[in-house]
Structure 1
Amino acid sequence: MTLDWETVDRRARSGDQPGVARLILQATEAERLAFAKAVEAGIKDTEPDLRWRADVDPGPAMALAVIGTAPTAARAATMLLRRQLRDSWPQIQFGRLTQIADARQLDWLGELGERLCARLPTRDVWNGDEWAFVAGVLQAGDAQPPVTEGVVRGWLARMIRPRGERMPPLTMRLRDDPYLDVLLPGVFEIDGMGADIYNATWGEGSALPRSGTRFHDAVAALVAEGRLERKTILVAVIDRLARGDKPNALRPFVLLHDELAPTVDEIAAHALDYARLLAEGPGVIATLAQRCLRTLDDTGRLDLDTLLEASRPALLRKEKTPVKAQITWLEKVARREPERAGEVFETIAAAFGHPALEIQERALTLIAKHLSTLPGDAVARIADASTILAGDLPARAAAVFGTTVVAETVPELPPYAGPAPMPAPITAAAELAEEIAVLVHDESGIRWERVLAALVTLHADGRRAELAAVLPPLLDRYQGDLTAHSWNEGAALSCLGAAITAATGLPRDHATYQRLYGAVRIAWQEGRRGDTGSDLPAGPDGVLALRVAEIAVHLNGSMMPMLVATPTQVNGSIDAEALLARLARAEAEGWQPWSFDLEQALLRLPRSTAPEVLDRAAGLTSPAGRQFAQWLAGGGLPDPVSEPFTQVGETNARGEFLWDPAVTRRMAATLRPSRDGGLRLERQLLTLDPEKHPEWAPDQFGELPGVLSMVLPHHREVAAAWAIGELAALADQDQRGNGRLLPLLAECTGPVGPALAYGLAYTFGAKQEADRAAAVDAFLVMATGTEPFAAAVGTALADLASDSAVKLNRALPALADIHRSGASAAIWELLTAALPPLLAAGHRAVSDMLELATQVAVATGARAEIPGLAETAARPGSSRQVQEAKRLFSTLSA
């Protein structure tokens, strides 16, 4: 018979896999090979997303046609990997496939399986459906799979997330799998495999295992019955732990290690590996290694040199519990081997470098207890090591060793040089095109200002032909961004597309022009962005969109030679003398700046102006010049009123919070202008009423931190109030990335109100280290200024920590970093504001804050009375909170 694509396609679209198979089987091999090109062409012409729009997925039947006609494994793999077919692999009737392969006597199914293995995904592998199909092809071709990440991930996913409600236990599935011996080693060798096991077993955020046999139980069972070699698996487990990974990814292997319960002989064989894990492994792994090494030591089979070498870095680990256990263990060893006690206690002295005073004190106390029994040279070396002790401990060490107290050197915070000047302006159309292409992907405030300034300047210089040669292709390349659509009509980028159209002389879209003209007119007449008649955002980002729309509307109506609002510094500020020069030029040349360009320029002026600039500004006579002079004489924009506002978490009818994890409250801020009238941009920028309930994962300004901060560079509290939701979500929803706004605000000026104070406090408690580092950088810059702020941040931090809106244990390392960087005086202000409410509440992390306060107090020589400290120090008992309170109280009273 003769094969034709129309018939195959019709049957495929009806889901008739048996019918397609019959057509292939009834043809001769010559007819099949001749039909291969028609199959390839037909599949290529099939829409990739047809399976989602059609009632029946045609992909499985088309895949059978590929197997039935392809001349080689390479050609078959190319077609099967096309999107139209790949998504359909799990639905292919595999019996039909092997029937066709047998009829054709194909000898390349194994090669086909190997080629498909090379393209298996390594991410988002949920249940291994693609692997299941490829495994069938390999088995049909009697081939072994390559041990690649895609293969191992697919195989593992198929094992731990099988399809079907009634499946054999995992132990049985592993035992019976033909590729167990080939692929199981890869689970231990490839990074991140443990995370797949963890997520399948426990699930995200769950401390309890799901039902069913767990991976470590199944592997241990196969070891116990001899199906897997115990030595091989134990070596693989220890090697995996030694190479490290994320905590969740290591957990299944820790459990497998515990399930295997290594004997003393097995531990001895891996003593050096366990020693390395004790020193370098994650916390839970170090504890495991410590337990194994102690077992070995208790039997007299641990070499003391190995123990001492591993102990030195282990005593500097941030986890206190294993460090305390290590010190106790070493003391026991010293008693057991008195001839080497000096070496042991010198090793214990390594704990003098631990960041926690509690650990330093424990080591010092223990050494002092045994000092009389130690050799003199060992004592001298320990005394030298004690110079790195912190807090109140140097004085105690001096009394123990009979040495002189070495005063702690407090690093000086280097002065902040101020924001950098703006980069040089763009002077060529080709450079402008390149910058716009980058802007589409990264809307930085600096880049926006350079692009707008160049677009206006190059157009005014009579270089429309150059612009017309390089800018229109951008409109085609980035249609989704630079062309107005229902989802971006008010975005600055879509307004930029209209401005490019105007600058290059392209035919303008009348509807877009009228829409932007109407938005600019409403902003002029009513001082409003957004709502009826205006698509522009009502927030600060809408100021940029308004300015771009103003350019698009007016560019060809007046030969404006330049923008006056282009900043002179990267934080958005404009030097008053530079704006004076621009307006003097406008007056001399007889042109007036556009309205919102001028208003943005005025909002960017510094808070103080040199007298000579005031005098020269008073001599300007144009409308813009007189407005500029009046603005300077009146002191510029008065600070708005910013007040804290508590948002309460939203609940359902049963009183359950709608989000998981629940956000019971979030601190925001209201804004109110402190005067009537003013600029048209002013009232909307300075009026903010947060919603009653927190927003889920807010991201209005997350991608535009520079745009936000540059609108009002000398009123940073306003920007913080608009963005407080994004900053709060870093801590209470574990979002990421929005902390980068804070260093930008730190380069700005203006009083610190509740929004910026709470914003810093939230970001100190961010889950991601990069966001916490951004808060540290911002705090350090602000500490060089003259505006008081640290006490407000401390009060906000204590408030947020009171109900765990911010996890204090996340924030404390950041505060310690600030102290070590030289801003100790500012951190002391923060701590003395935060400690009283935390002491009163008995917060569990207040002990660590007290310890940090002692270190800061010693370094700065601070003497102050902290409410509640004396009462806490006077409490009976030896809890850590009491001990740290006594330490700080003693330091402040000395």
Structure 2
Amino acid sequence: MTTHLPGDGAWPRVRRAITTGDPALVADAVLSLDEAGRREVADGLPGHIGVARKAVTERDRRRGVWTDGEEWIEPMRVAGAGVLGGAAAVATWLYRRDFTRWRRPLDSGPLLRVIAARPPRWQADLAARLALRLRGSRAQARDDSVPLALELLRRSGAVPPDHDPLTVAWVSQPPDLEHDPLAGHLVPRLFEAEGVGRALREDNVDPPSWDSSRRTWLGALRDAVAAGRLDPEPLVDGCLSRFLRGGDATDLRFFARLHEMLAPEPSERRVPDYLRLLPASPGAVAELALRQLRGAGGLRGADLGEAVAALLFRPEGKFVRAGLTLLDRAARDAAGDLDDLAPALASAFLCESYEVRERAVRLAVKHAARFTPAGAETVREAASVLPAELAARLPEAYGAVAAEPEPADDFEPVPLPPFEPPAREPFPPPLGDLTAAYDKVGDGIVFERWLDGFVRDPSKRPRPGRGWIYERPHWCHLAEWTEALLREAADPGAEPPVRPRAGHAAECDTEAGFDRLPAPGHVSAPHYAMLMRCAEIHAALKAGALPPYLLATPTLTSGHLDPAELVARVEGYERAGAEALPADLGQALLRLPREVDPEVIDRAGKLTSEAGATLARRLAARPEPELRVDWSHANGDYTHDRQRGEHSPRLRPRIRVEPTGLALVDTLLSDPRPWTFEDHGRYMESWRLTLPSDREAVAMHLLPHLLNVWERPGYFHRYVAALFSQDGPVGEATALLIAAQVAERGRDLLLSAAAAGLLPAVECGRQLGLCLRRDVARMSDVRAILEECAERGAHREVWQIMTGLLAVYLPGPDERPHASHTQALSFAIDAARRAGARGPLPAAEEAAARKGASRFVRTARALHAQLGG
């Protein structure tokens, strides 16, 4: 433990300077010290770290302000840099964990000043040590590691250590090749250090239009070459060596642009290296290599054959076409037979492009007489992979081509796995210990049992221990309302008046005295419905008007309420002269099953209260809401959305039904908000209990959370699966929930829906096609899942899904098809065969009628023919 010296010694003077928070004063104090004073301060510094940090915290607390509390750090660093003995100790001190902060120091002058007072060799040692500490981490991106290390290397004249992160850090700064003393050392390392290409992947010769004054590295290198400060030949060789080391397109993009900017003259010396780049380099690198080879006086002999073979083995059509052009020229220039070119020609038959294969067949026909029997055999064997119509064009010189046998389809239909919904058990009794469970009401069944117990038995309402809820202007959580109910029951009138915070006055719903409710849009509608029930019980409790029991408590664990039981409850209200609570009545109506015994309807017609009349009308004529899903803010049509420039995956759930006048019913049966806030999505596992006979309406309320993958829970699919055990028709919302989850969660959701007879397969396919259109899913993932579902017994449903998918996913007349469209058609062929499907399919027919012979068109024609077209 360090003992602070009294009086005006070295350490007290430096300590006072540190307390000011001014690094410049600390630098002045340190630079005035002699050797003994530096040792004294060096002894005191480590023990002062906690003291300095605490002093800033206490100061802020006394002032009643909040700062980042980091102003003590830079004075401490400056002091250590000026008094610690070895360069290694200073390097460690400057970046010790205690000095971690969120922003760089505003002024590095005081730190550089105390370092500059050290001997030159010491400064060079520190510069090298700081350079070797660089790692490219996020923490170092926030501190001054990089600028300090580079500045000290420049000032000390030290040779930069051979350290890849140092080179990456250097190129991550604006270039100044004319005046930077590090340029001579580090420019050659651009081609050796890992990470340089990725750091400069967005660099261009010219600066971006929005920052015309910005210097780019390509521009700086161009200017240095033009001014004669850099020799272009080592730069070209550096690019070539970097290409030969390999890497992906991102890593090599900068070097490809540099090579293009340098525009080297073709060189016979570099031909072998450029040839080595043709087979497997990223496209941009292979393209520049091919240009160089074409300009190097033309390829001949073995070099030509090597280039042809390399190009024909690449997957890109443009390189294969270039290879075929070289092959044709090589064939014309060759004096003898062409057997050496037979393997290259055969490899062109494997290309995915139909046009390339067709051109390869034309070359084979053109030069057939130039192959010996051995060369012709090589071509003939490779031709077995060609489509039948192309293989038939080969002349007799090659012999009969054995068509490749169709792959055997070992698919055998199996039954769907059984769907076993959870049993609908009698609803459990009211809770007894309300205090123990008041903060566990997030579960819908516990919530209902708690409310039931609270209303039925006033003796079971002890007040819970804590009471912070009154400090909040509105209550969004169920546990806040249940705590408030217990507190009001135990201590009537103890709740103070609501005093909304500044800026929150508009958030409270003050209708019907429910002054603690948040605004309806602040939470999801099913969540808000649960809050409404709490709020009206709270208001009734204050008014001394609690009913003897609740109407809406379910009779089954599915959330359903037996109609006869509800009639009996209303009859009991009428005998007791009790008034029904509106939200409670509304929730009770929504829990009725879809089919009701006529005798119950007749019995309800004899009720005399307003609540009884409302119930009788509901039982006699249950309204059926109209539900649909609109993608984007247009009419759900993709072409219309695209013409409006709307590409983002947005959707609007729509619920239309005649308003009832019951706020809870109208809240649940109206359009959900298409976007979500922080408190949206709470209690989602309980939503099915609010609308047990209208699962499609629950699906509508789930939709706003569907596309925000980062916001919804990882078990979201469980809420969708729970709907299969409820009642009511399914439609677009359920179809979309299943479709969007197919690629994400796998087969189980789709198989369960199919087994339950609740899969709107064609509509599911249509929604899946819209998801693909908007990049919510990828065709490769979708195909894999649908393939698995077909093998698990859903082969007929998978075909129906594909009919809906193709109708919206295939490109329109003004769109170009791509590989995923062809993949969808190819899978549809398999799906149709497995389902034994026949009959017209307009989407396939329209695609098949396109001109040309692309793979997309040929696959569409194959599907159309298979369906009997």
The alignment's TM-score, normalised by the length of structure 1, stands at 0.61
1:689-743: CA deviation from partner (whole Å, max 9, x where unpaired): 76xxx97x9787589876777865775544554565666789xxxx998998578
The one-letter amino acid of 2:477's match is A
The answer as to whether partners of 2:696 and 2:729 remain within 8 angstroms in 1 is yes
1:281-300: CA deviation from partner (whole Å, max 9, x where unpaired): 5x656766787899999444
**Is the aligned partner of 1:33 residue 2:53?**
no
The CA RMSD over aligned residues, in Å, is 7.6
Q: 2:528 aligns with which of 522, 534, 542?
A: 542
Deviation at 1:158, TM superposition (A): 5.2
1:291-337: CA deviation from partner (whole Å, max 9, x where unpaired): 7899999444469799879966x54xxx6655666777788889977
Distance of aligned partners of 1:876 and 1:137 in 2 relative to their CA distance in 1, 3 Å threshold: closer
Q: 1:65 aligns with which of 79, 86, 89?
A: 79
2:201 alignment counterpart? 198
**Is the aligned partner of 1:168 residue 2:176?**
yes
The answer as to whether partners of 1:107 and 1:141 remain within 8 angstroms in 2 is yes
Query: Residue 186 of structure 1: SS of its match in structure 2?
Result: coil
1:767 alignment counterpart? none
Query: Residue 138 of structure 2: SS of its match in structure 1?
Result: coil
1: CA distance, partners of 2:232 / 2:695: 68
Query: Residue 212 of structure 1: SS of its match in structure 2?
Result: coil
Q: 1:186 aligns with which of 186, 193, 215?
A: 193
1: CA distance, partners of 2:363 / 2:590: 63
1:327-381: CA deviation from partner (whole Å, max 9, x where unpaired): 7778888997743676556645545xx5x88888888998899799788976896
Q: Which runs of 5+ in 2 are unaligned?
A: 1-7, 395-399, 424-436, 501-506, 573-580, 636-643, 791-796
The answer as to whether partners of 1:5 and 1:39 remain within 8 angstroms in 2 is no
2:433 alignment counterpart? none
1:654 alignment counterpart? none
The answer as to whether partners of 1:61 and 1:92 remain within 8 angstroms in 2 is no
1:833 alignment counterpart? 807
Give 1:374-413 correspondences, 5 Å limit. Answer: 401=402
1:745 alignment counterpart? 720
Distance of aligned partners of 1:86 and 1:698 in 2 relative to their CA distance in 1, 3 Å threshold: closer
Distance of aligned partners of 1:542 and 1:682 in 2 relative to their CA distance in 1, 3 Å threshold: same
1:339 alignment counterpart? 339
The answer as to whether partners of 1:409 and 1:859 remain within 8 angstroms in 2 is no
1:268 alignment counterpart? 272
2:828 alignment counterpart? 856
Give 1:701-740 correspondences, 5 Å limit. Answer: 715=694, 717-718=696-697, 721-722=700-701
User: Rg: which structure is higher?
Assistant: 2
The one-letter amino acid of 1:29's match is R
Deviation at 1:131, TM superposition (A): 0.9
Count how many residue pairs are aligned between Structure 1 and Structure 2: 792
Deviation at 1:99, TM superposition (A): 4.6
The answer as to whether partners of 2:70 and 2:101 remain within 8 angstroms in 1 is no
The answer as to whether partners of 2:198 and 2:250 remain within 8 angstroms in 1 is yes
2: CA distance, partners of 1:784 / 1:302: 62
Query: Residue 198 of structure 1: SS of its match in structure 2?
Result: coil
Give 1:51-130 correspondences, 5 Å limit. Answer: 53=67, 60-70=74-84, 72-73=89-90, 76-77=93-94, 82-83=99-100, 87-88=104-105, 90-99=107-116, 101=118, 109=126, 113=130, 117=134, 121-122=137-138, 125=141, 129-130=144-145
Deviation at 1:132, TM superposition (A): 0.7
The one-letter amino acid of 1:68's match is G
The answer as to whether partners of 1:576 and 1:605 remain within 8 angstroms in 2 is yes
The answer as to whether partners of 2:510 and 2:516 remain within 8 angstroms in 1 is yes
**Is the aligned partner of 1:24 residue 2:7?**
no
1:133 alignment counterpart? 148
The one-letter amino acid of 2:199's match is D
Distance of aligned partners of 1:133 and 1:156 in 2 relative to their CA distance in 1, 3 Å threshold: same
2: CA distance, partners of 1:671 / 1:21: 68
Deviation at 1:856, TM superposition (A): 1.9
1:804-863: CA deviation from partner (whole Å, max 9, x where unpaired): xx4589765556556644354124422553379x54x42223896477436524751654
Query: Residue 723 of structure 2: SS of its match in structure 1?
Result: coil
2: CA distance, partners of 1:500 / 1:102: 75
Query: Residue 193 of structure 2: SS of its match in structure 1?
Result: helix
1:376-415: CA deviation from partner (whole Å, max 9, x where unpaired): 97689658767xx89x999999x97467766756686973
**Is the aligned partner of 1:45 residue 2:67?**
no
Q: Which runs of 5+ in 1 are unaligned?
A: 423-434, 440-445, 588-593, 650-660, 764-769
Query: Residue 669 of structure 1: SS of its match in structure 2?
Result: strand
Query: Residue 540 of structure 1: SS of its match in structure 2?
Result: helix
The answer as to whether partners of 1:790 and 1:827 remain within 8 angstroms in 2 is yes
Distance of aligned partners of 1:831 and 1:96 in 2 relative to their CA distance in 1, 3 Å threshold: closer
The answer as to whether partners of 2:498 and 2:516 remain within 8 angstroms in 1 is no
2: CA distance, partners of 1:567 / 1:783: 25
The one-letter amino acid of 1:268's match is P
2: CA distance, partners of 1:124 / 1:600: 57
**Is the aligned partner of 1:251 residue 2:226?**
no
The answer as to whether partners of 2:769 and 2:808 remain within 8 angstroms in 1 is yes
Distance of aligned partners of 1:689 and 1:73 in 2 relative to their CA distance in 1, 3 Å threshold: closer
Deviation at 1:252, TM superposition (A): 1.9
Distance of aligned partners of 1:514 and 1:597 in 2 relative to their CA distance in 1, 3 Å threshold: farther
The answer as to whether partners of 2:419 and 2:752 remain within 8 angstroms in 1 is no
Distance of aligned partners of 1:872 and 1:447 in 2 relative to their CA distance in 1, 3 Å threshold: same
1: CA distance, partners of 2:422 / 2:537: 24
Distance of aligned partners of 1:815 and 1:234 in 2 relative to their CA distance in 1, 3 Å threshold: same
The answer as to whether partners of 2:850 and 2:857 remain within 8 angstroms in 1 is yes
Deviation at 1:89, TM superposition (A): 6.4
Higher mean C-alpha displacement, 65-74 vs 54-63: 54-63
2:434 alignment counterpart? none
Distance of aligned partners of 1:23 and 1:874 in 2 relative to their CA distance in 1, 3 Å threshold: closer
The one-letter amino acid of 1:64's match is V
1:475-530: CA deviation from partner (whole Å, max 9, x where unpaired): 9xxx9xx99867xx54438749959998xx99x99569999xxx999899999964
2:504 alignment counterpart? none
The one-letter amino acid of 1:671's match is R
Deviation at 1:57, TM superposition (A): 5.8
Deviation at 1:39, TM superposition (A): 4.4
2: CA distance, partners of 1:208 / 1:771: 45
The answer as to whether partners of 1:599 and 1:681 remain within 8 angstroms in 2 is yes
2: CA distance, partners of 1:203 / 1:784: 61
The answer as to whether partners of 1:746 and 1:779 remain within 8 angstroms in 2 is no
**Is the aligned partner of 1:415 residue 2:416?**
yes
1: CA distance, partners of 2:768 / 2:410: 28
Q: 1:492 aligns with which of 463, 477, 482?
A: 477
The answer as to whether partners of 1:575 and 1:605 remain within 8 angstroms in 2 is yes
The alignment's TM-score, normalised by the length of structure 2, stands at 0.62
Give 1:673-712 correspondences, 5 Å limit. Answer: 673-674=656-657, 677=660, 681-688=664-671
2:578 alignment counterpart? none
The one-letter amino acid of 2:30's match is I
Query: Residue 826 of structure 1: SS of its match in structure 2?
Result: helix
Distance of aligned partners of 1:236 and 1:666 in 2 relative to their CA distance in 1, 3 Å threshold: closer
The answer as to whether partners of 1:36 and 1:69 remain within 8 angstroms in 2 is no
2: CA distance, partners of 1:727 / 1:202: 43
2: CA distance, partners of 1:409 / 1:295: 53
2: CA distance, partners of 1:383 / 1:299: 27
1: CA distance, partners of 2:93 / 2:80: 6
1:45-91: CA deviation from partner (whole Å, max 9, x where unpaired): 25489899599966544432333355743772366852469631654
2:814 alignment counterpart? 842
Query: Residue 652 of structure 2: SS of its match in structure 1?
Result: strand
The answer as to whether partners of 1:529 and 1:536 remain within 8 angstroms in 2 is no
2: CA distance, partners of 1:368 / 1:605: 77
2: CA distance, partners of 1:177 / 1:217: 14
The answer as to whether partners of 1:530 and 1:536 remain within 8 angstroms in 2 is yes
The one-letter amino acid of 2:25's match is G
